[in-house]
Structure 1
Amino acid sequence: MEFIKSKTLTLFKSSKGRLQTQFCELTGVAPATAKKYLESSRYDLPRAVDAYFNRHPNKASAGSVNVDKTNPKDIAALNAVFDNYKDPEDNNQIDIDGTLRYLEDMDITPEDLSSLTLAYLLKSPRMGIFLRDSFVKYGNNITA
């Protein structure tokens, strides 16, 4: 029984470490700051990131330099990516099937925390749904 308890504790600490690393990657903060926000949000990564950027709105776009929002080529590229996954019945939305294909193409499983981060960064209104406007507007937040 002690072995199982020890193994569970190790996995739990490992999960916390991964969340802390993801928080640091998303926000660019030090691990101590990440830990503070994660603890206050009970290790709910999207909630912790949201709390951080709500408190520091000027830093929300500091790392978003991958795509120039005013560059027609970048906007066209984001629209082309969106079009690969869009809902056949609604040109302005990626439905759950398109989202699953998109995640698969990016080597992300739906269970991976990265899928939640992606949904957060692209301002997904509902589970498995992305809207064209948000995808194009916030697509610059995604890095490989």
Structure 2
Amino acid sequence: MPQKDDLVSEFVSLTQCESKTAKDFLRRNQWKLEYALNDYYDQMPGGFIEEPHTPVTYPEELLALYDKYVLEDQNKIDIDGMIQLIEDLDYKLEDLVTICLAKLLHCTRLADGISKDQFLHNWYMQGCSTLPQMRHVLDDLDTKLHTDLEYMTDIYNYTFDLALDQNKRDLDTDTAAEYWRLFFQPGTAVHVNPALLNSWLAFLDSEQKTVVTRDTWKMLLEFFKQFPSLSAVKTSYNEADAWPYIIDEYYEYLEDSRLI
């Protein structure tokens, strides 16, 4: 039987989709390529069509929803429209699943908003044209976010670019801290002791770290996966391991503060 990576590569080669999409379809079809391809094309606008640019007729209900949230003078759904959509889906802006919603709609940055094509095409691909259908999809993603470590990691890494200000390479520490409190709250797929997270935030504040790099953002999650509590850091952390320098600084801070 072909290796999973080979199946993903072949799926991507045949469909030109993203590897994440390929994995999703293969996984839900027990890694059977033929079934996964059929599933994928069944959800493509028009199914097995030879003319990929054939116009799609979107459901009237879906078009009406776009018109409800669109910022007319810019022909996109801005942050206020997204907030209204989130509320209509019975979620709150601070709910972590709202980031899953942004990724589902292929939103690159919050400030960019959601185009008409993004909204219509991506909901159409999910088989959704009404708010109850959309809510069902988000409910499933919320469950997945709290139970599937691989999916949670994907959403976490996606968030860095989503939250970046325009023309910036690093996240403001205050912004990063807000998202960390969401991702590492009790009940998510990564179980982090609150004292560990609080000590990390206190370290950043005491050292006046004003920005968070992409590498720091990504590696902190890996650090917390491996060391979910202060006691785990104390007993298992090895300064010789290949962690970013800021993690070594954090470890020294914990020692100096007698937290470990």
Q: TM-score, normalised by structure 1?
A: 0.50
Higher relative contact order (CA 8 A, sep 6+): 1
Of the two, which has the highest radius of gyration? Answer: 2
Q: Normalising by structure 2, report the TM-score.
A: 0.30
